[in-house]
Amino acid sequence: MSKRDPIFNLSVPVIFAHRGGAAESPESTIAGFLHGLRSGADVLEADVQLTKDAQPVIWHGPDLDAAFDANGAFRTGVRIWDCTWREVSTELWVRHPQPPGDEPSKLEHPHRRLMTLRQFLDFVSAVKKGDFGDDVGAKSFHLNIELKKTGKPAAKWTKRKVAGMPGRYPYLQRVLDSLNEHSPPDTTVVVASASNRILSRFRCIQDNAYKTNLSIREQIAYSEYFAPAHVRAIGALLDLFVAKEMEDLSGHAFQTAGALVTERLVREVHDHNGGIYAFLTAFPFLPELEPSDGAGVGSEEYTSAVQDLINKGVDGVMTDYPSIVSRILRK
Question: What was the pLDDT predicted at 238?
Answer: 67
Residue 1 pLDDT greater than 60, yes or no: no
| Own/partner long-range contacts of 294-298 (Cβ < 8 Å, ≥24 apart) | 294/23, 294/321, 297/23, 297/321, 297/324, 298/324
Question: What was the pLDDT predicted at 292?
Answer: 81
Domain 21-213 - what CATH class? alpha beta
The residue length of the chain stands at 331
CA end-to-end span of the chain: 19
Residue 311 pLDDT greater than 70, yes or no: yes
**Which whole number is the average pLDDT over 294-310?**
94
Pairwise CA distance, residues 217 & 271, whole Å: 20
Question: What was the pLDDT predicted at 308?
Answer: 97
* Omega within 30 of 0 (cis) for the link into 291: no
* Digit-coded pLDDT (tens) for 100-159: 888 899 999 999 999 999 999 999 999 999 999 888 877 789 999 999 986 665 678 888
Pairwise CA distance, residues 238 & 241, whole Å: 6
Residue 247, C-beta contacts closer than 8 angstroms, at least 6 positions apart: 272
Determine contact, residues 274/219, Cβ cutoff 8 Å.
no
Pairwise CA distance, residues 48 & 62, whole Å: 10
What is residue 253's three-state secondary structure? strand
Residue 191: how many CB atoms within 10 A of its CB? 25
Domain ranges of the chain: 21-213, 214-331
